[in-house]
Chains A and B, each alone.
Chain A
Amino acid sequence: MIQATDLTKRYEDNLLALDHLNLTIQPNQIYCLLGANGAGKTTTINLFFNFIEPTSGTATINGIDCAKNPIEAKKHAAYVSENVMLYGNFTARQNLDFFTSLTGRKNMRKEDTYVVMREVGLPERAFEQRVKTFSKGMRQKLGIAIAILKRAPALLLDEPTSGLDPKAAADFVSLLFKLRSEGKAILMSTHDVFRAKEVADIVGIMKEGTLIMEKTKEELQYEDLEKLYLKYMEIG
Chain B
Amino acid sequence: MIWPIARKEILENLLSYRFFILTGLLALLMVVAVIVGYGDFLQRLENYEVLRPPPNSPVIIIEPTPTSILAEGLEANLTRLHEVSFLGIQIQRNQQSVNRIFALFAVPDMLFIIKVVLALIAVLFSFDAIAFEKEQGTLKLLLSNGIRRHSLILGKLFGRFALVFAPFAVLFLLALLAISLLPAVAVTGTFWLKNFITLLVACVYTLLFTAIGTFVSSMVHRSSTSMVIGLTFWLLFVFIIPNFGTLLAKTLSGVPTSDRIEMEGRLSTIQAIYERIQREKESRDGSEGRRMIQQIRESTLRLVELYQPKMNSLTRLTKSIVRCSPSGAMHFLITDVASTGLYEEARMKDAVVQYVNRNFGRINQLEQGSPDTFLYTRSSLSEVLAETAFIDILVVFFYAAFFIGAAYVRFLVYDPR
A78-B144 in contact (CB<8A)? yes
The answer to the question of A75 belonging to the interface, with a C-beta cut-off of 8 Å to chain B, is yes
Q: In the complex, which residue of chain A has the Cβ closest to the Cβ of B416?
A: A51
The answer to the question of A113 belonging to the interface, with a C-beta cut-off of 8 Å to chain B, is no
With A51-B416, A102-B4 given, is the CB distance from A90 to B11 under 8 Å?
Answer: yes
A86-B417 in contact (CB<8A)? no
A52-B415 in contact (CB<8A)? yes
Contacts of B144 in A (CB 8 A): 49, 74, 77-79
B142-A81 in contact (CB<8A)? no
The answer to the question of B279 belonging to the interface, with a C-beta cut-off of 8 Å to chain A, is no
With A74-B145, A87-B8 given, is the CB distance from A81 to B417 under 8 Å?
Answer: no
Please provide the chain A residues from 22 to 67 with a CB less than 8 Å away from any CB of chain B in the complex: 46, 49, 51-52
From B11, B136, B143, B415, A85 is in contact (CB under 8 Å) with B136
Q: How large is the interface on A (under 10, 10 to 19, 20 to 34, 35 or more residues)?
A: 20 to 34
Q: Report how many A-B pairs have Cβ atoms within 8 Å.
A: 63
Nearest CB on A from B14, distance (A) = 9
Cα distance, A79 to B137, chains bound together (Å): 12
A89-B142 in contact (CB<8A)? no
Please provide the chain B residues from 78 to 120 with a CB less than 8 Å away from any CB of chain A in the complex: none
From B1, B15, B16, B138, A86 is in contact (CB under 8 Å) with B138
Contacts of A70 in B (CB 8 A): 146
Please provide the chain A residues from 76 to 125 with a CB less than 8 Å away from any CB of chain B in the complex: 77-79, 81, 83-87, 89-90, 94, 98-99, 101-103
Contacts of B143 in A (CB 8 A): 49, 51, 74
The answer to the question of B148 belonging to the interface, with a C-beta cut-off of 8 Å to chain A, is yes
With A51-B140, A84-B141 given, is the CB distance from A101 to B146 under 8 Å?
Answer: no
From A86, A94, A102, B145 is in contact (CB under 8 Å) with A102
A150-B416 in contact (CB<8A)? no
The answer to the question of A71 belonging to the interface, with a C-beta cut-off of 8 Å to chain B, is yes
The answer to the question of A182 belonging to the interface, with a C-beta cut-off of 8 Å to chain B, is no
Contacts of A90 in B (CB 8 A): 11-12
The answer to the question of A72 belonging to the interface, with a C-beta cut-off of 8 Å to chain B, is yes
Cα distance, A3 to B416, chains bound together (Å): 23
Nearest CB on A from B123, distance (A) = 21
Nearest CB on B from A44, distance (A) = 13
B12-A87 in contact (CB<8A)? yes
B417-A51 in contact (CB<8A)? yes
B142-A102 in contact (CB<8A)? yes
Q: In the complex, which residue of chain A has the Cβ closest to the Cβ of B16?
A: A89
From B1, B4, B16, B136, A98 is in contact (CB under 8 Å) with B4
10 contacting pairs across A/B (C-beta < 8 A): A49-B144, A51-B143, A52-B417, A74-B146, A79-B141, A81-B141, A84-B137, A87-B12, A89-B15, A103-B146
